[in-house]
Structure formats: C-alpha cells, structure tokens
Amino acid sequence: MSFAVPTSLSPSRVDAFTSCPMAFRFASIEKLPEPPSPHATKGSLVHRALELLFTHPADERVGEVVEWSFRRAVDEYAVDPEFVLLGLDAAAAQAFVDDAWTLVQAYLRMEDPTRVRDIGLELRLEAQVGDLTLRGIIDRLELGPEGELIVTDYKTGRSPSLAYEQRRLGGVHFYSFLCESVLGQRPAAIRLMYLRSGETITAVPSEQSVRFITTRTTAVWKAVEKACTTGDFRPRQGPLCSSCAFQTWCPAFGGDPERARVEAPEAFGRLAAA
C-alpha cells in the first residue's frame, strides 16, 4: 500500500518520524484524529497566556496585566475542544488551571518581561529546500543588547536528558535555518526556556549547524518519501508508546494498522460526541 507524499515538514514532524515511523504514518500521513493530552493542552494555554502578555507594551507586563493575560487564556480554553474533550471534572479542571498558573509564575522568575525587546510573537515562517516546504512557528523573536536576533521557545514539559538534548537542539537549529532563509539574518542565539525546572538552554547557531539542518531534513524527507512509496512505516517502540493514541492498531502491540483508518475516527469521534 502506498501513500501520497506530504509536501511540507515542521521540526516536530521530523522528530515524530525519527521517533516512530508508524506513529508518523497514523498522525501525519493518514491524519487520524487523536484525543487531546492534558500536557499538550496545558502547554498551549501557557503559550497563549505569555503571547497575550507580550501584546502589551513592555513596561505594562507586570501584576494585573499578567493576571489578565492568564485569565483571558483560561477563558479562551474553557470553550476550546482541546480542553473540553479532556473531560476534566471541576476539581481536576481547577488543578489543571492552578498548575498552568504555576508555570506562568515560574516564567516570571526566569526573566523580566518588561526588559524583553520582542519583534515577533508566534511567528509562522516557511522556507523551501528543493521541492519540500519547511514550516515552523517561533514563540518569540526579539532583539538582543546589540540588536542581534534571538529566538525564544517556551517549554512546559520536563527539561531533556543530555542524550535527548541534542535532538531538541536539532529542532532549535531548524528555527535558525528558517530565520536565516526568511529574514536574511541568522539568530545570534536560540533559547529554550524550561518553565517547569527553571532551566534555560541556549544554543548558538553556526553555519555548520544550519547546514546540518538541511542535510538532516533532506535525509528524513527521503526516508518519508520511501516509506510513502513502499508503505513500509516501521513501529519503533520506546518511551512514547505508553502515551501513544494509536497503540491499539500498532503491529508492535499485535494491532492491525489497516483498521485504524476506520476505527480511530470512530473511537475518538465517540469521545468528541460524549
């Protein structure tokens, strides 16, 4: 069975394919629905609160404006299917909101938003590599002390282990490639702010690291094309399996991937209708 080859890739999709080609097939090639996850939804809510905070002039990003930004993000998410479909009861919903607020407060301990010279929020950038379109969304683009470009990415999950860090930074250099292609200037630094641990990992992109992105992405792209042509998307078992929405149809767990196309929308559609 062959599949249509997608025409664009984002850093998270590159990571998804390298983590497990079978899960990539379900999510990105067949585009099967997935139930929302509390972690991802909480991350989206915190990103939205910080985005709203940064829509205010720098000197106003304190006190009540922080609370207003957070409240507004919570109100938006209260009616968003990504949150509603989590099906949280009142106590769990309150714990969810409390934890999201904890992350916003943790952010405020990491930097002073009144001193940030932001020039772009939730910036959608895309660039061509051959026939392939690379797409990414930058949480925040700002100017450093010397007017240099700095990319900041908020992370609401745990900070990575050393082994995992390199792959995360691969995604980061992806953004520097996009910046250089679209804005004509390579960022001087890319900062990953891990709100949960309070750690910031800073990467300094170089010509070599940006070249590595085009080489790596082209290699992943060739592998995606081959898998689409042959239909051979292999399952790769690992830590992601425990939270994988497609385990029922995964051959590594005795499932039949051909049934997912019919059964996943039924299973997760029922969830949406509940």
Q: Contact residues for ligand SF4 (CB under 6 A)?
A: 20, 22-23, 235-237, 240-241, 244, 246-247, 250, 252-253
Question: For ligand SF4, which is the closer residue by CB, 132 or 260?
Answer: 260
For residues 73 and 96, what is the distance between their CA atoms, to the nearest angstrom? 13
Least distance in angstroms from the C-beta of 271 to ligand SF4: 18
Question: For ligand SF4, which is the closer residue by CB, 23 or 125?
Answer: 23
Least distance in angstroms from the C-beta of 125 to ligand SF4: 29
Least distance in angstroms from the C-beta of 254 to ligand SF4: 11
Strands 189-194 and 149-155: parallel
Q: What's the N-to-C CA distance of the chain in angstroms?
A: 34
CA dihedral 53, 95, 38, 123 (to 10 degrees): 0
Question: For ligand SF4, which is the closer residue by CB, 71 or 236?
Answer: 236
Point out which residues pair with 202 in neighbouring strands.
191
Q: Which of 139, 134, 140 is nearest to 210 (CA)?
A: 134
Question: For ligand SF4, which is the closer residue by CB, 150 or 245?
Answer: 245
Question: For ligand SF4, which is the closer residue by CB, 100 or 250?
Answer: 250
Collapsing DSSP states into helix, strand and coil, what is residue 136?
Answer: strand
Least distance in angstroms from the C-beta of 185 to ligand SF4: 38
Q: Which of 204, 258, 226, 179 is nearest to 11 (CA)?
A: 179
Least distance in angstroms from the C-beta of 236 to ligand SF4: 6
